[in-house]
Structure 1
Amino acid sequence: MRDGSGDRLVAKLHEPAEPRRGLVVLVHGLTGCEDSFYIRVSTQYWLSSGYAVLRLNLRGAGPSRPLCRLHYHAGRSADLRDALESLRALAPQLLNRGIFLVGYSLGANLLIRFLAEEASAFPVVAGACVSAPIDLKAAQRRIMDSRNWIYHRYLLARMREEALAAPVPLSEDERNAIYSAASVYDFDDQVVAPANGFTGADDYYARCSGLRFLSKIVCPTLAVHAENDPWIPAESYRHFDWTANPALSLAMPRAGGHVGFHAQGSDFTWHDQEIGRFFALAAAQ
């Protein structure tokens, strides 16, 4: 990585039997990795459509964990930039047909920042964001609603597990911060923020929320979000003027939950098919 940390990311590359289109890079969400179910399902869809696919593990996620001192967060888009730079150096032919980027949940928020600040350095044709927490503070409040207490408890346990799996010994203060965090907000405030130069959780949310970057995106980008997403308020999407930036498109069906847009009678999800149509149109322009 460019930051001199010595961290390395792991990714899995798949090429279709008959490559006809570009490279799709899939970016997982919070506590996810290359083997997350939605990543594996999407990989099959894109391969069947003639795209090469790169399943990227963010810094400290999945197979990247033993190789990273630091950890991904909602605004660490420079890691995606560094991964694409490495790919360009190692296999430039993969980029010849263009890059298509798909992010999920927290990875989608990270992708929005990348599209706004870094995409112009690469042959990015289009991007897509699925269930992105574009207002991180609003998402934190929703996740901590009493109705979401089971998921909140599960998510916090996964976040703690990831943090404790660091390849280098943690200090006593770091361990205490991880164990004492009683909520996602506490974890972001006591663990994520100090490790990444933020003054606290609210500073982290304010500086990294995708809403700050949407207006700066210039390549075709589709945002997919369900009105009934239990963890990310639809109001975050309704209060943004999507017509103000011609590069942006919004697909917001009433149902679909969080990264759960199943398509009746199909082996592939509705969001994959919708993004596939969007990418095909972008490539034809």
Structure 2
Amino acid sequence: MTDEAGSAGALTATAGGGRWPDLREVPFKPRAPWFNGDLQTIRNFLVVEGLGRGPAPPASRRMELPLNDGTGDRLLADYSQGEEGRGLIVLIHGLSGCSASAYMKASAAAFDAAGYSTLRLNLRGAGPSAGLSSDCYHSGRTEDLANALRTLQDQDDRIFQRGLCLVGYSLGGNMLLKFLAEYAGDFPVTAAATVCAPIDLAAASRWFDRRRNRIYQRRLLNWMLRDAVRLPLSSTQRDAIMAARTVYGFDEVFTAPRFGFESADDYYAKSSARRFLSGIETPSLLVEAQDDPWVPTASYDNVDWSVLPRLHRLSAEGGGHVGFHDNASRVPWHDRRILSFFEWVAG
């Protein structure tokens, strides 16, 4: 374990009456010159991915995971074997991400250094899974995660013996929380964590659509269009998505009708993790930043955490969107906090 991860032993009372590790005792302090939420957010693209200065992921082997849902679609994942006695951590990327995303590789490196096995999952239609998929994922398509884990267990019935932890980033975090409410009882999930999850998709859409985010909007929409045009589409569908000018517009003309929702608003309402939080029994850490330009911290403020004793919100003053590049370590702050939490849960 690196840096201050050993602080997991310190406990503090929560409003729900439970006992949690005091993860706030090591507050987030941004690394120069990445002093605000926007700079924290773009550092992954500029420095980690653009200049290749991020930590190298652990040596891994590619695994193929059939979904066995009648579609013939398969997912690809990068698996790294950890130390004897350590459990497995499955990482779930965000919107337009994949196993090669900067935050996925950085987390895998941190968890590997702590001895854990890691599996960086590519969701349906994402990254290298695109060539093996006739369809794509969305934030509420939790059955894909469940089917992938079942296949993983079928391929190696001992892979979960030392414990199973799950980590979701951004939209993958929303999917993970919904999954925990719906499927966690089917698997030996020890603990879970999310980073900057948009737990209220409608609120996140409004927040992201602000004028100040137009550069983010253009970039993310281009990534979404790139992924969508890989799929078998009619000329009408292709024309509709190419005409979209916002992420909301894309969800209105593509995501919602493709998956049987009445509208983008209906898709957001039925897929948002917030409506599933009360059904989560797995000890879970929800990390978020108050200066996140993509996800409003108000979504977390509006939840009564006192009635959710299995959930622990960790709100940092800074960190941006899945950034958390601080001055204490090359390992991102959120990864060190997640490790502390998992260590505490494991006892």
Question: Structure 1 length as normaliser, TM-score?
Answer: 0.97
Report the equivalent of 1:140. 205
Report the equivalent of 1:10. 76
Q: Choose which of 298, 301, 323 in structure 2 pairs with 1:260.
A: 323
Q: Choose which of 9, 17, 21 in structure 1 pairs with 2:86.
A: 21
Report the equivalent of 1:48. 113
| Identity score, percent | 49
Shift of 1:20: 3.2
Task: State whether structure 2 residue 149 is matched by structure 1 residue 61.
Answer: no
Shift of 1:255: 0.3
Report the equivalent of 1:112. 177
Task: State whether structure 2 residue 308 is matched by structure 1 residue 242.
Answer: no
Quote the RMSD (CA, aligned, Å).
0.9
Task: State whether structure 2 residue 190 is matched by structure 1 residue 125.
Answer: yes
The one-letter code matched in structure 2 to 1:137 is A
Name the SS for the 1:237 alignment partner: helix
Alpha-carbon separation, structure 2, partners of 1:261 and 1:20:
29
The 5-angstrom pairing of residues 80-95 of structure 1 reads: 80-95=145-160
Task: State whether structure 2 residue 289 is matched by structure 1 residue 223.
Answer: no
Report the equivalent of 1:214. 277
Name the SS for the 2:129 alignment partner: helix
Alpha-carbon separation, structure 2, partners of 1:19 and 1:205:
41
Q: Which moved more, 1:1-10 or 1:150-159?
A: 1-10
Name the SS for the 1:252 alignment partner: strand
Alpha-carbon separation, structure 2, partners of 1:265 and 1:99:
28
1:75-124 CA deviation, whole Å, 9 max, x = no partner?
A: 01111100100010001221101100000000000000111110111010
Shift of 1:133: 0.4
Given that residues 23 and 52 in structure 1 are in contact (C-alpha distance below 8 angstroms), is that contact kept between their aligned partners in structure 2? Answer: yes
Shift of 1:128: 0.2
Q: Choose which of 79, 95, 100 in structure 1 pairs with 2:144.
A: 79
Q: Point out which structure has higher relative CO (alpha carbons under 8 A, 6+ apart).
A: 2
Question: How many pairs were matched up?
Answer: 281
Task: State whether structure 2 residue 253 is matched by structure 1 residue 187.
Answer: no
Shift of 1:2: 4.0
1:56-89 CA deviation, whole Å, 9 max, x = no partner?
A: 0001000000111111111011111001000100
Given that residues 19 and 52 in structure 1 are in contact (C-alpha distance below 8 angstroms), is that contact kept between their aligned partners in structure 2? Answer: no
Alpha-carbon separation, structure 1, partners of 2:88 and 2:151:
14
1:195-214 CA deviation, whole Å, 9 max, x = no partner?
A: 11101100000000010111
1:152-171 CA deviation, whole Å, 9 max, x = no partner?
A: 011111100100112xx321
Given that residues 25 and 53 in structure 1 are in contact (C-alpha distance below 8 angstroms), is that contact kept between their aligned partners in structure 2? Answer: yes
Given that residues 193 and 199 in structure 1 are in contact (C-alpha distance below 8 angstroms), is that contact kept between their aligned partners in structure 2? Answer: yes
Alpha-carbon separation, structure 1, partners of 2:84 and 2:278:
33
Name the SS for the 1:213 alignment partner: helix
The one-letter code matched in structure 2 to 1:182 is R
Shift of 1:263: 2.8
Runs of 4 or more consecutive aligned structure 1 residues displaced over 3 Å after TM superposition: none
Name the SS for the 1:142 alignment partner: helix
Report the equivalent of 1:158. 223
The one-letter code matched in structure 2 to 1:130 is V
Alpha-carbon separation, structure 1, partners of 2:193 and 2:219:
27
Alpha-carbon separation, structure 1, partners of 2:257 and 2:236:
12
Name the SS for the 2:192 alignment partner: strand
Alpha-carbon separation, structure 1, partners of 2:102 and 2:165:
20
Name the SS for the 2:91 alignment partner: strand
Alpha-carbon separation, structure 2, partners of 1:3 and 1:84:
13
Alpha-carbon separation, structure 2, partners of 1:22 and 1:229:
31
Shift of 1:23: 0.2
Given that residues 126 and 279 in structure 1 are in contact (C-alpha distance below 8 angstroms), is that contact kept between their aligned partners in structure 2? Answer: yes
Question: Structure 2 length as normaliser, TM-score?
Answer: 0.80
The one-letter code matched in structure 1 to 2:346 is A
The one-letter code matched in structure 1 to 2:204 is A
Shift of 1:221: 0.4
